[in-house]
Amino acid sequence: MKTLAACCASLSLIAGITWAQQNRLPSDEAKGYAKLCVERAASVLTDPPIRMDVDPDKPCAERGEGGGAMIVPAKKLTDKALAGVGKDVVPVGQLWFRKWTLVVNGKLVASDKLRIITVNVDDKNRPMPLFLLGVRKGEKALELVIYATGSEPLQVVPLKKLNQIQDLPVQLEWSRGEKDSDNLTLNILGKYEGVLKIAKTGK
């Protein structure tokens, strides 16, 4: 019985890893989308709660059911910047969604609290929620702060320390969740990890 349970657990893990690998967008495709999104954001973002320059040549994008998610990292996101994090927010990057969005306190974020930016992709105007991400020092450890439309964070997520090597400044790992939400893990410079709950918007 234990052998069967262990086998099932292993198969479940392998299936999850395979699913994640199949949903990572190729680098060139991700860069194309990133450049369109970054250019559009630059033309309409007049009052961002975090000011940052981002690098559209180093995005990480994952497909989701009917849509997806993409992180475009801040150019000044470095090991040195993370090591010096204090109460002031250090920019991490732009997090974009297509037909998905964040779940906060167990509920899908209401549309009137989202910063929706319409980007022309493949000759179609596509409305996409944009979140601005940063890191700051919390009471006990570093925390990820997520902004939408307001000057105050929409969500604050605790960060867990990591020690891994990764190719991109910020990597996304999309995994199946329970019921109506999935998990989106952000790995920041291989040093810190934060997990977000996300769900389909139905639009």
Q: pLDDT, tens digit, for every residue of 66-121? A: 889 999 999 999 999 998 898 899 999 999 999 999 999 989 999 899 999 999 98
- Which pLDDT belongs to residue 161? 94
Give the separation between CA 92 and CA 72, rounded to whole angstroms: 9
- Give 112's DSSP letter: G
In tens, the pLDDT along 134-159 reads 999 998 889 999 999 989 999 999 99
**Do the Cβ atoms of 129 and 119 come closer than 8 Å?**
no
Give the separation between CA 16 and CA 170, rounded to whole angstroms: 20
Tokens representing 120? 């022309």
What band does 178 get if pLDDT is binned at 50, 70 and 90? confident
Using alpha carbons, select from 189, 184, 199 the residue that is nearest to residue 23: 184
- Which pLDDT belongs to residue 87? 84
Summary mean pLDDT of the chain? 87
Among 41-50, 85-94, 103-112, 175-184, which stretch is predicted with the lowest mean pLDDT? Answer: 175-184
CA 58 to chain centre: 13
**Do the Cβ atoms of 137 and 86 come closer than 8 Å?**
yes
What count of other Cβ atoms lies within 10 Å of the Cβ of residue 190? 17
Ranges of each domain in the chain: 2-200
Give the separation between CA 79 and CA 203, rounded to whole angstroms: 38
- Which pLDDT belongs to residue 22? 58
The pLDDT > 90 percentage for the chain reads 70
